[in-house]
Amino acid sequence: MSQILTVSCKLKVSQSQAAKLDATMDAFVQALNWVNQNTPEKVVNAVKLQSLCYYQIRARFGLSSNLAQQVCRRVAGARKVARQRNRPVKEFKRRFVTYDARIFSFREKDWTVSLATVDGRERFELAIGNYQRGMLAGSNPKSATLVQRKDGSYSIQICVEAEPPKQQNTDKVIGVDLGRRDIAHTSEGDNWNGQQLNKVRDHYCRLRASLQRKASKGTRSSRRRCRELLQRLSGKERRFQTWVNHRISKAIVSRAKATNSAIALEDLTGIRERVNQQPRSKTERRRANSWAFYQLRQFLEYKARVAGVSLILVPPAYTSQTCHRCLHIHPEQGKSYRSGKSFKCGHCGWEGDADLNGANVIALLGAAVNQPRGSGLFCSLVEQSRPRATESPLRTA
């Protein structure tokens, strides 16, 4: 199965070309908002939207035929995503333009792209390095998105379709336990402590609360300034989380690639909703909900696919309560061998880091999935009932 990768390239733009790009982006975003406001919200089909307002888009905003079609597709896509989140599409604010193969082309011989504007086609030289050249070499991209950065520069985000390498066959598995105290802990002992990250996030929370209080008081200019700072703060915290998740996922995939291993993760789908049903303090609820664990899983998935590393999802039940050495859990209902960050098995006596133990259990489950007839484990963890006191959910049949 092919994989779509996005290559961000800076454009070399002259003053006259910048004016054309500005006019195109302004017309495109205005058309998006006009279509969103003047068509029924329930219409999420791009063809239906095009039949309702195609000619009005061309007449009002001076967009070409294909750009008008891109407007309808973009609005339809945004509405579909908003419907999944149970909220409407309010407004398109960012200046951007989406392109397909009819209004965008890439030429490798001189590393340029051709883009349609409201004033005809323009060709732009790419200001890129060896990484982007390597990604684009030999490719035939069919779509791209033009964006303008905060510093006023222009970038084209080119979508490249590539065939990922064949996944390596291996019986080795690296288990990864995700959590809050340790953002990630592997079965090989590598871990990324979350204490320093919590300090940074708590700092952002205090600063955000202070600005929110000031944004409701004071003069008009001070309230406006506080709102601007809040917006900048939100982007800074989001970029910080993304940077940490990229760093962790790259290190894990690189280690799996170097050791010819697969990666096993817990399938934590729906964990936030289940955890939020438990009584917790406001601070604990904020800390649990603010970190982007799903983003970390997404980064691991696509980086592993690019590197040819298999990624396995296993059920999370009892992974933190089972001893990885003897596969036993505590025989009494409601009790566990785990106590905070430490784990001490009452059956075999193994004692050590609880997250390391959990990562090893995840690795065992991943090996059972990866080599279903070569392991002594079976996947009874999916059952909701608790096993008998003398049995482990990982014990062989």
Q: Is residue 25 part of a domain?
A: yes
Q: Is residue 236 part of a domain?
A: no
Q: Is residue 271 part of a domain?
A: no
Q: Is residue 143 part of a domain?
A: yes
Q: Per mean pLDDT, which range of 68-72, 200-204, 284-288 is the poorest?
A: 284-288
Q: Is residue 226 part of a domain?
A: no
pTM above 0.75, yes or no: no
Closest among 273, 320, 318, 323 to 294, alpha carbons compared: 273
Q: Calculate mean pLDDT across residues 272-288.
A: 58
Q: Is residue 145 part of a domain?
A: yes
pLDDT at position 198: 74
Phi, psi of 143 (to 5 degrees): -150, 160
Q: Is residue 392 part of a domain?
A: no
Query: What would the pLDDT profile of 326-379 be if each residue is shown by its tens digit?
Result: 888 888 887 888 888 888 888 888 888 888 998 999 999 888 887 755 555 544
Q: How far apart are CA 127 and CA 155, in angstroms?
A: 9
Q: Calculate mean pLDDT across residues 38-46.
A: 92
Q: How far apart are CA 346 and CA 378, in angstroms?
A: 23
Q: Which domain holds residue 17?
A: 3-161
pLDDT at position 287: 54
Helix (H, G, I), strand (E, B) or coil at 373: coil
Helices 15-38 and 46-61, axial angle in degrees (round to 10): 130
- Residue % of the chain over a pLDDT of 70: 87
What confidence category does residue 8 fall into, taking pLDDT thresholds of 50, 70 and 90? very high
Q: Is residue 154 part of a domain?
A: yes
Q: How far apart are CA 269 and CA 302, in angstroms?
A: 18
Asked if the model's pLDDT at residue 306 lies above 70, the reply is: yes
Asked if the model's pLDDT at residue 383 lies above 60, the reply is: no
Please state the domain count of the chain: 1
pLDDT at position 391: 46
Query: What would the pLDDT profile of 196-229 be if each residue is shown by its tens digit?
Result: 777 777 787 788 788 877 777 777 788 888 888 8
pLDDT at position 389: 41
Containing 7, the helix (H) or strand (E) segment is strand 3-12
Of the spans 179-188, 255-264, 381-390, which averages the highest pLDDT?
Answer: 255-264
Asked if the model's pLDDT at residue 192 lies above 80, the reply is: yes
